Structure 1
């Protein structure tokens, strides 16, 4: 390990350890807990907590996005992804995301997304 480098470890995150973490507002009815917040377009990793019925508007992925559903279920136009699902969204793809029942997801994105709203 180089000087100044560090490992970040959450040993019980997938088993519910996220419940003790502090979340802050992110979007309407969606909260975030940053695990590693990239700056200047660097990759980021966070937990998103969706309230029941929450939606994230249509957005385009500038880089790879990886999602692991830790609790509940998240949906997009391609399906509904229950706890334990892994979803990979490739660069250039776009979608809207929602959760009917509420959910918590671990999300990693290489670059910030571009919000498109209702436009394609």
Structure 2
């Protein structure tokens, strides 16, 4: 498994600081379970944070300190040997902590239809900032074209999807904001299952989808 789309610096630093809402933290932690490179970057972020706390004086320029963190995180990290899946869970199954949130692996889940072969499972969290759901998009099918009222993190767990020239496969995470309007398409051969976290409703182009959006809760 080669992961090409990773966590942003701001998410890693906020996660290391413990300042993310639960929904964002779940997406970050699940990606980290799949991505050795981001686990190393997280360790670096935690180490740098400790150094800055020790070294920063009241008069120090906070902006320059943050830029130093960003430069350090941008440095290449050495590859880590793949880890063997534990507990008898197949390689393509749900990683922790997501598996515990859902109470089981993919083959035990109860999906709710979104229509046209797509399904979702809403995942409750204690924070009021985010909406968290598991999505299953049929192989070869697009999601309705939409924009974003805020941020959306989409982490691929099985299958893959294409978004413009980019391909997102298992472990890849897409970080979208209000500047992006797009229509991702699940690639042929296998349904695409993703963890999606948002902090605002999606903005669908289709009036039909907008009409049923409150019912679907997306």
Superposition TM-score tier, normalisation by shorter sequence = 0.7 to 0.9
The structure with the largest helix share of the pair is 2
> What are the Cα deviations for residues 42-81 of structure 1, in whole angstroms up to 9, with x where unaligned?
5210000111122112101001000110011011113110
User: Aligned partners of 1:14 and 1:106: how far apart in 2?
Assistant: 11
* 1:14 equivalenced with 2:101 (yes/no): no
Q: Map 1:53-64 onto structure 2 (within 5 A).
A: 53-64=140-151
Indicate the residue corresponding to 2:203 in structure 1: 114
1:82 to 169, 177, 185: 169
> 101-110 or 12-21, which moves further after superposition?
12-21
Q: Give the gaps of 5 or more residues in structure 1.
A: 1-8
User: Aligned partners of 1:59 and 1:79: how far apart in 2?
Assistant: 17
Q: Give the gaps of 5 or more residues in structure 2.
A: 1-25, 31-92, 100-104, 207-218
Moved over 6 A (4+): none
> What are the Cα deviations for residues 97-119 of structure 1, in whole angstroms up to 9, with x where unaligned?
110232100000111101114xx
The structure with the largest strand share of the pair is 1
User: Aligned partners of 1:44 and 1:76: how far apart in 2?
Assistant: 22
Could you say what the CA RMSD is over the residues aligned between the two structures, in angstroms?
A: 2.6
User: Aligned partners of 1:107 and 1:14: how far apart in 2?
Assistant: 15
Aligned length: 106
Q: 2:137–2:143: 8 Å Cα contact kept in structure 1?
A: no
Q: Which has more radius of gyration? A: 2
Q: TM-score, normalised by structure 1?
A: 0.76
* 1:46 equivalenced with 2:127 (yes/no): no
Once the two structures are TM-superposed, the CA of residue 91 in structure 1 deviates from its matched residue by: 2.0
* 1:35 equivalenced with 2:97 (yes/no): no
User: Aligned partners of 2:150 and 2:107: how far apart in 1?
Assistant: 28
